[in-house]
Structure 1
């Protein structure tokens, strides 16, 4: 069964939507300075409301390790790294917390995936490259690039996925999971109907393939 992650939780309504349609993961942007960033108090409040069966993913961009460990790691199931974090940084995180560690890679070339796959992380999140942005742009990944690289780790596919193209993308690259943010929003905020439709589309497609 393909796993589903909805990223960019910011409001109580967002939590109510995911509690209703039950994706496998809910993501919170916890580094400062991004459109969907939530502060620590908001994160704590929202996390308390989230169904305990939905895994909590904290998204960080070049965040000091001490900040993650002190303020967030005890509330998270997954730490997703979206910056230039290297093997040394990842090793230190792994030694000091029990969270799964994921590395996001913004892909221009197959070699970008290969380099990330060599890092000591549990899973990858493969996103489209957009200059000046660390993700959440809605730009589609070039799916043909996956035929040029052997990926050893389970990976999530992100970037420009929506109700119209998700089934084709899943069948073409066979990801462990799929990740959505801007494509389940309207006017910059999570849209309940879009979340409902995308979750139903994926689960119906997966059931047909079993």
Structure 2
């Protein structure tokens, strides 16, 4: 199981995550978030990372131009989106194409890795099924987070495991190559208790408040304890 630690705001928390071998770190540039960091701060923070490929820019752009501005300014290529339609995401990926020639043919792939956050609550209705299927067709990853009033992220509430598994199956049936994150109040206790099931259906867990003393202030001991679970499981 891979771990993304999100809501990074301090250089010392980057060091803690790196020492504990966190797989990804998220930097949130969304005004409504308690862990909001300005683009200039993200540029500064990520400059201290040993491997910037582990940085994820978390944004909720109003439009494509807004998204591109954040991407260009930070130079980050792992992008977690809390907005934009499937069609817009397809266009965004097309705008960042890489072309490589292999054995005479040209394979086109995007320079961007797109994670699209999707909200879930207790049940999955037909509209949500279509939404999952649409985004599964254009994204590299889907991240399921608890949704309140149409907004995801920062709720601290957990998606029921049965609902999360149902969503994962819909996504994988639509695109078997898709990788999946589970977010929403994730902490050491839940990951330990449900690790076997989580590993069967998800590639990453996304942890935020579960390793904090307060919003945006990570706790090194909690990070270390959390990462021990996954390190032991990988060996």
The TM-score by the shorter chain falls in which range?
0.7 to 0.9
1:46 maps to 45
Identify if the C-alpha distance between structure 1 residues 114 and 193 changes in structure 2 by more than 3 Å, giving closer, same or farther.
farther
Rounded to whole Å, the distance in 1 between the matches of 2:229 and 2:20 is 12
Identify if the C-alpha distance between structure 1 residues 47 and 121 changes in structure 2 by more than 3 Å, giving closer, same or farther.
same
Rounded to whole Å, the distance in 2 between the matches of 1:53 and 1:36 is 20
Q: Which runs of 5+ in 2 are unaligned?
A: 97-110, 173-177
Deviations 1:3-29 (A, max 9, x none): 110001111122121121121111011
Contact kept, 8 Å, 1:130 with 1:139, in 2: the verdict is no
Deviations 1:142-162 (A, max 9, x none): 101245352312101111211
Secondary structure at 1:90's aligned position in 2?
helix
Identify if the C-alpha distance between structure 1 residues 38 and 148 changes in structure 2 by more than 3 Å, giving closer, same or farther.
closer
2:207 maps to 180
Tell me which of 173, 188, 201 is aligned to 1:163.
Answer: 188
Regions of 4+ moved over 4 Å: none
1:135 maps to 153
Rounded to whole Å, the distance in 1 between the matches of 2:70 and 2:182 is 28
Greater Rg over alpha carbons, structure? 2
1:82 maps to 82
Q: CA deviation at 1:52?
A: 1.0
Contact kept, 8 Å, 1:113 with 1:126, in 2: the verdict is no
Rounded to whole Å, the distance in 2 between the matches of 1:44 and 1:53 is 10
TM, length-normalised to structure 2:
0.79
Q: CA deviation at 1:133?
A: 4.2
Secondary structure at 1:164's aligned position in 2?
helix
Rounded to whole Å, the distance in 1 between the matches of 2:230 and 2:130 is 27
Q: Is 1:192 the equivalent of 2:220?
A: yes
Q: Which runs of 5+ in 1 are unaligned?
A: none
Rounded to whole Å, the distance in 2 between the matches of 1:54 and 1:202 is 20
Contact kept, 8 Å, 1:21 with 1:199, in 2: the verdict is yes
Contact kept, 8 Å, 1:55 with 1:77, in 2: the verdict is no
Secondary structure at 2:89's aligned position in 1?
helix
Q: CA RMSD in A?
A: 2.0
Contact kept, 8 Å, 1:80 with 1:103, in 2: the verdict is yes
Secondary structure at 1:94's aligned position in 2?
helix
Q: CA deviation at 1:93?
A: 1.2
Contact kept, 8 Å, 1:107 with 1:113, in 2: the verdict is no
TM, length-normalised to structure 1:
0.88
Identify if the C-alpha distance between structure 1 residues 71 and 61 changes in structure 2 by more than 3 Å, giving closer, same or farther.
closer
* Bigger fraction of residues in strand: 2
Q: CA deviation at 1:171?
A: 1.6
The count of corresponding residues between Structure 1 and Structure 2 is 205
Secondary structure at 1:72's aligned position in 2?
helix
Q: Which moved more, 1:93-102 or 1:49-58?
A: 49-58
